Amino acid sequence: MGNIFMKKCKDVFEVTKNFIDNHKLKKNYDFLVVDFHGEITSEKMAIGHYLDGNATIVVGTHTHVPTNDARILENGTAYLTDAGMCGDYDSVIGMNKQNSINRFFKRDSQKHFPAKGEATLCGMIVDANENNGLAKSVSSFIYGGKLNNNT
Ligand SMILES: [Fe+2]
């Protein structure tokens, strides 16, 4: 979990440092996939660079909005700032758009509920090297629904 604009939790950089100081690729596991659940892009990028070479994948989640920056970092970690969501993009991050607008205006509204249109599937595909646990190739995809498809 990120620390900025998120529920209070431990310092994510200190927790990450402590983890990688005590766990190593190919010693403790074959591959390491880090799902960084955070609100802001800079915090996700910083964790990606900090873990570069120590994780197979660092992928951000939480915003529900896919970013277009999938790449392999300098030391071999596949990185994507945010994978996006699997849901209806004719919405406000997957929730019914009119109800969400009403909530922002503090009008009569209900608890958030999902939009029910055609879903878009978003994600990333990584091919990893089983000898060193690092990425060989990475791509992101957007399939179906309201977003422009790039596959
Ligand atoms: Fe979340």
83 Cα: distance to centroid of ligand 1 (angstroms): 12
- pLDDT average, residue stretch 128-151: 90
Average pLDDT in the chain: 96
27 Cα: distance to centroid of ligand 1 (angstroms): 31
Model confidence pLDDT, tens digit, residues 131-142: 999 999 999 999
3-state secondary structure of 44: helix
6 Cα: distance to centroid of ligand 1 (angstroms): 9
- pLDDT average, residue stretch 87-105: 97
Q: pLDDT at position 148, please?
A: 76
Model confidence pLDDT, tens digit, residues 38-64: 999 999 999 999 999 999 999 999 999
* Cβ(130)–Cβ(53) below 8 Å: no
Annotated domain spans of the chain:
1-84+122-141, 87-120
Proportion of the chain above pLDDT 90, given as a percent: 94
Amino acid (1-letter code) at residue 144: G
Assigned fold of 1-84+122-141: Purple Acid Phosphatase; chain A, domain 2 (3.60.21)
36 Cα: distance to centroid of ligand 1 (angstroms): 10
pLDDT of residue 68 exceeding 70: yes
Model confidence pLDDT, tens digit, residues 5-30: 999 999 999 999 999 999 999 999 99
Distance CA(85)–CA(72), nearest Å, equals 21
